[in-house]
Amino acid sequence: MTMFDDSRERAAEIRKLSIIPELISHHLSIRGDDPALSEYDAKKQEWVTLSFKELWERAQLWHKAITASGLKKGDKAAMLLPNSIAAVCFDQGTLIGGRVPVPLHIIDTAANCAYILNDSETKLLVILNRARWHAIEQAGIDLPHLKTVVFIDDEGEGISSSGVETLGLNEWLARGQESTLPFEGPTEEDLAALVYTSGTTGKPKGVMLTHKNIMSDISALLYNLAPVGGDEWLSFLPLSHTFERTTSYYIGLGMGNKVTFSRGVTRILDDLKHTRPTIMMSVPRVYEKVAAKIKERLKTKGSAAQFVFNSAVNAGYRRFERRNGLAAHNPFINTLDDLLDPFYNKTVRNQIRNSFGGRLRVAVSGGAALSTDVARTLIGLGVEIYQGYGMTETSPIISVNKIGANHPDTVGPILPGIEAKIGDKDELLVRGPQVMKGYWKRPEDTAKTISPEGWLSTGDQAEIGEGRYLKIKGRIKEIIVTSTGEKVPPVDIEQAIETDPLFDQAMIYGDNRPFICALLVVNQDQFADFVKQLSLDPNDPDIMTNSTVIRAVLKRLKSDCRQFPQYGVPRAVKLLSEPWTIDNGALTPTLKIKRRVIVADNQTDIDNLYKNFGK
């Protein structure tokens, strides 16, 4: 059987399924002993792996314990856990009995978690330890629906100060063994998740996704990604993110693949070497960081090494273009690339590919736009990136590039089964079985987002090209319109700036202003070296506002943004040393910047940039 036949056969199995637990249970009779999930056990200091049979048996234990806790079909159960076998057992155990998982972001604030628990009417919370629970309990938000909290790493404390019963995991699971309570399983129209959006413009909203929504998206995705038996996935994006849930978790296990949970971003390089994955989902920031480090190291090399590196990238990208039908056949260039390919592999590409484990076949980038320069660099070095696009409200994938037809200047063709059209202000509108049921307890917001005919407003400006390949131009609400009428998409420019190792974070501003300015969080080590090269003291308390430094930064920005029109290049900057984080309210749990918050915190400085410009 060829890889193509195997992929098609396994995809056909999935398309016969209707509810999420069947993604695991359908393997039991045909590949039940195959490895399913792997994680690192810190206490044992070793990797542990469960087969599909072992995973299903453990999920049944969780299902019984959830039933014994009094949760009926349709009741909400929340988890605040890192990616782990326990997180999957919670999810499957909740779904088996028709209950609704509410995945919380492991890095979210206590107040935000408390808000979601209250808004979702969650009755059961499974959480890592007492410390996290105590922080939520003290957030000042009543939790009248919450009855039980289960600690993964701690013993229970009995009844807490807020009247909630707390238990350790083992005690809670033991209660389930005594349970003989009846339960009713889910149908495809039942809710499979209540996923809260990041809330860049206010309180997060609960997106109601049904089993049919998610299963429809999975079935459509398989036409483009085409995983095969023997593929291995490394999962490190949080499972609270619908992108990771639908892809690495549901598709990986549904296809009968092994999914390994990373120990976290700080150990990602070690985990890549251990797992040697063939498929990986990521967000642009990870790829951009890799490209920035490559660029930083390259600057320390001589001109000959830089020439070889750039030649390797260019030759690799030309090969990629030919393979994906993006470039005309040129016999001379093709022959030259073929002759030099072994040399480029040995001197440049293998090191980069090996840092990803050496077997990576598909690297998907989603959640935000990826810099064109970063995509070209990594693809040219042999790490083929497939950009995709979606939103929580569409379960989440709307489009993704295809193997053999990867067009990196797009986010791929719109998935089969999804209708799409361009509305007012070039807004992308979509309709199909992947579109959410609506927002939890927010009928007005639902009506604003989904038309009576079923068209969902994405809020993104887009173009639909030949073959239904999709290009995203930017968020309608984020497009900057200067006082001179120029329209500037901020994300593209911010990404270009952030590929420069001098800047860790960037946000540009300029609505109704005569030009663009930028707020830049500098990398402390890089900034110190940068200042020393200007013969200045990096410890000078006024160094961030020094005119010589500012002029040098503006010159660097002009180079970073050279592919953009001049009106989009920042002409004034404010340098910052403190990063934007979730804790200080400047980032969402999915690490997107909250523009309104950042502008409000820096409004006086922004006003001064325009007031003092040219002085």
Q: Tens digits of per-residue pLDDT, 496-534?
A: 899 899 999 999 999 899 999 999 999 999 999 999 999
Position 118, amino acid: N
Position 416, amino acid: P
Does 84 share its domain with 194?
yes
* Mean pLDDT value across residues 448-458: 97
Task: Return the percentage of the chain with pLDDT > 70, whole number.
Answer: 99
Check whether 591 has a pLDDT greater than 80: no
- Residue 131 inside a domain? The answer is yes
Q: Is the pTM of this model over 0.85?
A: yes
- 286 vs 292: CA distance, rounded Å: 10
pLDDT band at 199 (very low <50, low <70, confident <90, very high): low
Enclosing domain of residue 446: 283-475
Check whether 615 has a pLDDT greater than 80: no
The total of structural domains in the chain comes to: 3
Report residue 215 as tokens: 């299963």
pLDDT band at 481 (very low <50, low <70, confident <90, very high): confident
Check whether 487 has a pLDDT greater than 80: yes
Does 168 share its domain with 67?
yes
DSSP structural state of residue 283: -
Check whether 255 has a pLDDT greater than 80: yes
Which residue do the tokens 């400047």 mark?
586
pLDDT at 202 (0 to 100)? 64
- Residue 233 inside a domain? The answer is no
Say how many C-beta atoms besides its own lie within 10 A of residue 58's C-beta: 19
- 315 vs 358: CA distance, rounded Å: 20
Does 470 share its domain with 497?
no
Task: Return the percentage of the chain with pLDDT > 90, whole number.
Answer: 77
Rounded to 5 degrees, what are φ and ψ at 247?
Answer: -90, -80
Single out the residue in 475, 495, 530 at which a domain terminates: 475
- CATH number of the domain to which 307 belongs: 2.30.38.10
The predicted-structure confidence for 343-384, as pLDDT tens digits, reads as follows 999 999 999 999 999 999 999 999 878 888 899 999 999 999
- CATH number of the domain to which 76 belongs: 3.40.50.980
* Mean pLDDT value across residues 233-258: 95
Contact criterion met (CB below 8 Å) for 303 and 268? no
- Residue 219 inside a domain? The answer is no
pLDDT band at 78 (very low <50, low <70, confident <90, very high): very high
Check whether 329 has a pLDDT greater than 80: no
Average model confidence (pLDDT) across the chain = 93
Longest dimension (CA), the chain: 78
Check whether 583 has a pLDDT greater than 90: no
Report residue 469 as tokens: 């390949």
Does 10 share its domain with 156?
yes
pLDDT band at 399 (very low <50, low <70, confident <90, very high): very high
Q: What is the dihedral sign for C-alpha 362, 365, 366, 369? A: negative
Check whether 324 has a pLDDT greater than 60: yes
Does 436 share its domain with 554?
no
Does 541 share its domain with 434?
no
Does 487 share its domain with 467?
no
Q: What is the dihedral sign for C-alpha 81, 84, 85, 89? A: positive
- 522 vs 580: CA distance, rounded Å: 11
- 392 vs 588: CA distance, rounded Å: 14
- 269 vs 236: CA distance, rounded Å: 11
Single out the residue in 430, 450, 475 at which a domain terminates: 475
Higher pLDDT, 383 or 108: 383
- Residue 412 inside a domain? The answer is yes
